[in-house]
């Protein structure tokens, strides 16, 4: 009986569209995690773990961090269901307070656009990373067709590079890797991946 509740909750969050985007994101991140078997990874704004849990075989540990308790319950159910031994969840919002954490890799996919103070969250993530650590950000390219009071309309590569270097990252590479129909507020859009080294 309990399984059904979780499946219903998972279905509510893990829509076909989200699963499709997550698969594209996982495909572009996985090659960047070669030789990361000894590394710790935080998936910030992990939701139900659609991205983070698909990377758990490449790293030593995965911590799924989200400010939605319900989504983390779904993630927890997936962890036990799939018997993933190196992953756990943390209910937290780093824009409010940052716990004492350290990680070698932080992944943040389709989260930055929801955070009003971009610089603050990038600074918090920079502080959590170990020296030489890496921040992987996946988000939408800037899209002028989109205006929303609570959501950034994507990011220009130059603008984001500047923000990342202001925060202290040594180097950043950004490239667009995916184009989709109606994937961003019902508009056609493209996603980029940004990789920065502390």
Q: Report if pTM > 0.85.
A: yes
CA–CA separation, 178 vs 192, rounded Å?
7
Q: Residue 159's pLDDT is what?
A: 95
Which DSSP symbol is given to 155? B
Is residue 30 predicted with pLDDT exceeding 50? yes
> Mean pLDDT, to the nearest integer, of 180-185?
93
CA–CA separation, 73 vs 164, rounded Å?
32
Facing residues of 103 across strands? 129
Q: Residue 11's pLDDT is what?
A: 79
Q: Count CB-CB contacts under 10 A for residue 2.
A: 7
Q: Answer yes or no: are the C-beta atoms of 67 and 92 closer than 8 Å.
A: yes
* CA nearest neighbour of 163 among 110, 102, 101, 121: 121
Domain ranges, residue 58? 2-197
Query: What CATH number does residue 120 fall under?
Result: 3.40.50.150
> Mean pLDDT, to the nearest integer, of 140-169?
95
Number of structural domains (the chain) is: 1
Return phi, psi of residue 3, to 5°: -55, -40
Q: Answer yes or no: are the C-beta atoms of 152 and 112 closer than 8 Å.
A: yes
pLDDT band at 195 (very low <50, low <70, confident <90, very high): very high
Return phi, psi of residue 192, to 5°: -115, 160
> Mean pLDDT, to the nearest integer, of 11-35?
94
């Amino acid at each position: 009986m309990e399984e059904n509740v979780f499946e219903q909750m998972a279905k509510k969050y893990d829509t076909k569209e989200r699963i499709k985007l997550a698969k594209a994101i996982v495909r572009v991140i996985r090659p960047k995690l070669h030789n990361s078997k000894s590394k710790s990874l935080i998936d910030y704004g992990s939701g139900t773990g659609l991205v983070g849990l698909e990377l758990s075989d490449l790293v030593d540990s995965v911590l799924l961090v989200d400010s939605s308790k319900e989504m983390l319950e779904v993630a927890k159910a997936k962890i036990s269901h799939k018997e993933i031994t190196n992953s756990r969840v943390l209910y937290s919002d780093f824009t409010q307070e940052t716990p004492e954490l350290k990680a070698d890799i932080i992944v943040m996919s389709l989260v930055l656009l929801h955070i009003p103070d971009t610089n603050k969250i990038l600074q918090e993530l920079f502080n959590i990373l170990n020296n030489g650590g890496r921040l992987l950000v996946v988000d939408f390219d800037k899209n002028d067709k989109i205006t929303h009071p609570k959501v950034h309309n994507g990011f220009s590569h130059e603008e984001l590079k500047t923000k990342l270097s202001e925060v202290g990252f040594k180097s950043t590479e950004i490239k667009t890797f995916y184009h989709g129909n109606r994937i961003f507020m019902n508009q056609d859009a493209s996603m980029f991946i940004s990789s920065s080294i502390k």
